[in-house]
């Protein structure tokens, strides 16, 4: 039997099991002000870009409005425009840095639609490479992320600063 070493996942497993996750991380993390500890890459006027701490794939980013809402239709024109401009920025930066073969991008609105954070709308940008998925998710129900979050943050952060 082979073993995958992913000790950073235990935090997520313990929080999910204990039900101790309180508040809204998409409100709380930007308010804390420690961008590197919270993997926050960019602050816009209405929205921000944050790395997913429990990614599906290396470089999995989320764009969210500062305003707490679960409804896309609640966002004003300026919020929407900036939100999708940041989606473009994320794709442009990731393409330049890592040259993925494609991207998954989208929103899951509501728990039944797959939203892990269902009370605060956000858009996922997930780079994809040929061979980044194999038998693990199908047979073992396990995803494999091939790079460390802190390493990805160190590569991405200066690129977002250049674009600002």
With H, G, I as helix, E, B as strand and everything else as coil, classify residue 35.
Answer: coil
Active site residue 120: no
Which tokens belong to 157? 């952060």
- Out of 42, 120, 122, 124, which one is annotated catalytic? 122
Tokens of 77: 């024109």
59 alpha carbon, distance to own chain's centre: 8
Q: What residue has token string 């679960």? A: 70
| DSSP state string for 60-120 | -EEEEESS--S-GGGS-HHHHHHHHHHHHHHHHHHHHHH--SEEEEE---SGGGT-SSTTS
Show which residues are catalytic. 122
């Amino acid at each position: 039997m082979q073993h995958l070493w992913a000790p950073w996942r235990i935090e997520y497993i313990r929080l999910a099991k204990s039900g101790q996750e309180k508040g809204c991380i998409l409100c709380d993390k930007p308010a804390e002000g420690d961008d590197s500890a919270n993997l926050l890459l960019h602050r816009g006027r209405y929205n921000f870009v944050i790395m997913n701490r429990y990614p599906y794939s290396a470089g999995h980013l989320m764009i969210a409005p500062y305003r707490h809402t679960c409804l896309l239709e609640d966002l004003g024109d300026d919020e929407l425009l900036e939100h999708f401009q940041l989606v473009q920025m994320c794709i442009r930066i990731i393409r330049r840095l890592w040259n993925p073969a494609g991207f998954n991008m989208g929103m899951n609105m509501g728990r039944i639609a797959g939203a892990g954070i269902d009370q605060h709308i956000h858009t996922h940008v997930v780079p994809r490479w040929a061979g980044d998925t194999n038998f693990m998710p199908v047979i073992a129900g396990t995803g494999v992320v091939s790079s460390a979050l802190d390493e990805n943050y160190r590569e991405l952060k200066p690129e977002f600063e250049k674009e600002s």
